[in-house]
Structure 1
Amino acid sequence: MWNQDKMGAVLLAAGYSSRMVKCKSLLPLGGLRVIERGINTFRQAGIMDITVVVGHWADELIPILDELKVSYVFNEKYSEGMFSSIVKGVQSLQAETKAFFLLPSDMPLVKSHTVRLLGRAFNKIKADIIYPVFQKHRGHPPLIGANCFPEILLGNTRGGLRQILERREGNAYEVEVFDEGILLDLDTHEDYQKIMTGYHRGDIPTQAECEAILVKMNVSEPIVNHGRMVAEIARNLALRLNQIGLNIDVHAVIAAGKLHDLAKGRPNHAQFGGRILKKYGYYKVAQIVAAHTDMEMNEKALPDEAAVVYLADKLVKGGGIVSIDERFSASMDEYAASAEAVAVIRERRLRAEKMEQTVEQLLGISLVMAARDLC
C-alpha cells in the first residue's frame, strides 16, 4: 500500500504538435484518445488531483476534458514553451500538495504501476525529485516535491525546469522500473505507430523490458538462450493454434517464454518468478510463468497461453529440441535414487503427454517434429 494523499498530476497539452500537424493528445489509441490514456494511468494509480494544461489546441481539448471531468487550465503563454505550462500547472495545484507527477500528454504508455512505485519511494525517501529510470535512462513522469514549487513559480529561470532540477540533484532519487513507456513519446508519425503497437501489448513486457528484467535478475546466458528458444517455439505454436480458431495471446507467450526461468536456481523457481513479475505489474505473464513447471489441464478444455509455454518448455533441453519422452527420461535417470522424486516426475510426464496429445490432435502434427522444423 502507499499513501497518494496530497499528490497531484500535471499533464502538459498546450503545445503546437507541429510535427504531427494535428493535436497529438486527441489521436486515437485503443478506442480512447491519447490524453485519456495518461489520465487513466493516474486514476488507476489512485491519483485524482489531475490538471491538464491546454493552449494552442484548447478549443478541441476542453470539450473532451469536460466530458472526462478533468480539471484544466489555459496557458496564455504557451508560445513561450513548455516551462510556461509547467508554471501554470504548479499554480493550479492545491495548497496542501506535497508533490506532483509531471507528464507530457503525448506519453500514453506509462504504466500505473510505475506511478505507484514512484509514490511509494517519495513517501519513504522524502527526496525533492523521484525519477523513473529504464535501462539507465531517466524518463517521465518525475515526481517533484513541494520544496521545488517556489522556484518553479518564480517562472524566470532561463534554463527552465531542467535547471531547477539540476540544482537539486543532490536530493534526487532514481527508481528503476521495467517500463519502456517512460521513454516513448509522440513526436512523429513513426512514434505513433510504435506506440500503437505498444498499446496492444497491454501489461505484457516488451522485448526491451524482458531484457532489462533478465539483466536485473542476473540470469545466465545459457538460461537466456534457452528462454529465447522456448519463446520462439511457443510463438509458432500459438500462431498455428490461432489459425484453427483459438485466441492465444502471442505477445504473452513470447514474453513468458523468454522470462519463464528468470528465477532458475531458486526453490520453487516458477512460483518465485511469477511473484517477481507480479510485483512489476505484469500480472498475465506472471500467471503463465508460475505455471510452467507443473500445471493441470482439463482434458476437455482448449489450450491457453500457459499450456503453450508449458509445452514449449518441455520440448527444449539445453540448446536443443527433445521429445517429451526424452525430456522426462533424463529427469527420471537423474533422480532415480529418490522414489518420491520419481513419482512426481512420472505424474508430470503423464500430464505433459496428455497436453501434447490434445494439441497434436488439434493441429494434426507431431509437436517435436514441428518444433524441429521451426528451429
Structure 2
Amino acid sequence: MTRHRQRSAIILAAGYARRMRRFKPVLTLGGRTMLERVVSLYRRVDVTDIRVVTGFRPETIRSALDALPVAVVHNPSHDEGMFSSVQAGIDSLPSDVSSFFVHPADIPLVRPHTLTVLMDAFDRRPSPVAYPVFGDRRGHPPLIDGAMKDTILSHGGDGGLSALLRRFDAAALDVQVADEGVLLDADTPEDFRRLETRQATCGRLTEDECRMLMEKVCRLPAPLIRHCQRVADVAAALARAVNDSGGTLDVCLVQSAARVHDVARGEKNHAAAGARLLNEMGFPAMAALVATHMQIDLTENSSLDEAQIVHLADKLVAGATVVSLKRRFDAKIEKYGHDPAVAVKILQRRRAALSIQNKVEQMSGRTVGQLLTTAGLTHGRQP
C-alpha cells in the first residue's frame, strides 16, 4: 500500500445551502456535479478511502454518487452545523489512518497537483495539520494528522474545526500553491458563476496564479519575474495584432505561458524543466509553449502559432527592456561568439526569430516595432 493510499478524504455534503438556494453538491459544473468533481479529485491522487458525509437530502447524495467507490456516512445531527459533520466523518475513519483531508463539497476546483504537493510536504515534515496557501490565505482542504482524531472528536464545537486547528498554528505546515481554487467555494449564486468562469479556463494558470507560482512557490528573483512579465506583455500584443488580421491565436494561453516561461531558470535545460513542472501541474498546453521558448524547430511553411509568438517575444526582451532582434542577437554574438558551437546555436535562434517576425509582419501589415509602439511597448523602453 502506498503512502497516499493510507490517507482518507472526508467530503462534507450535509448542509442546507440556504444562501445558494439550490442544493450545492449536485449542481453541475462543466458537465459534472460538484460532488463528483471532488470525489474524482481524490481518486486521481490515489486516495482511495473516500467518505462522503450526508445530512440534508441524503438520498439525493446517494443517487448522485451512483456507483462511485466511496463510503457514505450519514450525520443525523447535521442541523447542529458543519462541525458535527466533520466529527461524523472522522468517527468513521479506520483506527490506523495516517492522515486525512476534510473537503467541503462546494470547493470543487482544487487541482490534483495541489493535493500531491500538500501530501509530499506533509511526508517530509509531519505536522498536526498542513494547509494549502494561496498568497497569504490558507485554503481548503487541510490535511490533518491521524493522531488528531481524538482531539477533534472530543472538541465541543465552539468555533468549528478552524478554531480548533488554530490551537496548533505553531506546528502547522503552510504549503504555498499556485492554485486559487483552494479559496473558491460556492456559497452564493455569484460564487457559482465565478466557478463556472474559472472552470471554462482551467487549461491555464490565471495571472494571479502565474504570479504566485513565480513569487511564492518557486521564489524567483524580482528581475527574472519582471523579465517574464515583459515577455508576456510583448507576446500578448503580438498575438492580438495577429488576431486583428484574421489569426486565431489563444491570447490568454500565450500570455500565461510567457508569464512563466523562465519558471525553472535556475535548472539545467530550464525550458524542458519548466515544461515538466507545468505538465505535472496539469497544464500541457502551457508546457508545450514553455518547452520551445529557447529553441524552436520550424518547417519552411509552418503556420504561425502560439509557441512561435512566445519564442519571438522572449527574443525581443533583454532583461526587462524591449529590444530589436538585431540588438539582442548582436549582443549575444559579441558575448559568446568566440565559441564556435555556441555561435552556431545563436545564429540558428536568430534565423528562427527572424522567420517568425517576418510572419507576424506579413500578416499584420506592420513592423514588429510599429506593433509594439502602438501597444506602448516601444523598443528600448523600460517597464
TM-score (norm: length of structure 1): 0.88
1:237 aligns with 2:209: no
Distance 1:214 1:26, change over 3 A: same
User: In 1, Cα distance between the equivalents of 2:92 and 2:245?
Assistant: 55
User: In 1, Cα distance between the equivalents of 2:26 and 2:330?
Assistant: 58
Deviation of 1:365 (Å) = 4.1
Identity of aligned residues (%): 37
- The worse-fitting range, judged by mean Cα deviation, of 226-235 and 312-321 is 312-321
Contact 1:29 1:196 in 2 (8 A): yes
- Match in the other structure for 2:191: 191
User: Any residues of structure 2 matched to 1:60-139 within 5 Å, and which?
Assistant: 60-139=60-139
- Write the deviation string for residues 179-213 of structure 1: whole angstroms up to 9, x where unpaired: 22111211223322322222233252222222122
Which letter does structure 1 place at the counterpart of 2:214?
Answer: L
Which letter does structure 1 place at the counterpart of 2:234?
Answer: I
- SS state of the match for residue 5, structure 2? coil
Q: Which runs of 4+ in 1 moved over 6 A?
A: none
- Match in the other structure for 1:325: 326
Distance 1:201 1:327, change over 3 A: same
**Structure 1: segments with no counterpart, 5+ residues:** none
TM-score (norm: length of structure 2): 0.86
- SS state of the match for residue 5, structure 1? helix
**Structure 2: segments with no counterpart, 5+ residues:** 377-383
- Match in the other structure for 1:344: 345
User: In 2, Cα distance between the equivalents of 1:243 and 1:193?
Assistant: 29
Distance 1:319 1:161, change over 3 A: closer
- Write the deviation string for residues 75-114 of structure 1: whole angstroms up to 9, x where unpaired: 2222211101111111332344222111111111211111
- The worse-fitting range, judged by mean Cα deviation, of 172-181 and 241-250 is 241-250
Contact 1:127 1:171 in 2 (8 A): yes
- SS state of the match for residue 231, structure 2? helix
Contact 2:17 2:24 in 1 (8 A): yes
1:143 aligns with 2:138: no
1:34 aligns with 2:49: no
Deviation of 1:280 (Å) = 5.0
- Match in the other structure for 1:354: 355
User: Any residues of structure 2 matched to 1:183-332 within 5 Å, and which?
Assistant: 183-216=183-216, 217-241=218-242, 248-264=249-265, 268-278=269-279, 280=281, 282-332=283-333
TM-align CA RMSD = 2.8
Which letter does structure 2 place at the counterpart of 1:147?
Answer: A
Contact 1:315 1:368 in 2 (8 A): no
Which letter does structure 1 place at the counterpart of 2:359?
Answer: T
Deviation of 1:16 (Å) = 1.7
Give the number of equivalent residue pairs. 375
Contact 2:177 2:213 in 1 (8 A): no
Distance 1:30 1:351, change over 3 A: same
User: In 2, Cα distance between the equivalents of 1:235 and 1:31?
Assistant: 31
Contact 2:129 2:143 in 1 (8 A): yes
Deviation of 1:278 (Å) = 4.8
Which letter does structure 1 place at the counterpart of 2:131?
Answer: Y
- SS state of the match for residue 19, structure 2? coil
Contact 1:335 1:341 in 2 (8 A): yes
Which letter does structure 2 place at the counterpart of 1:374?
Answer: A
Which letter does structure 2 place at the counterpart of 1:334?
Answer: K
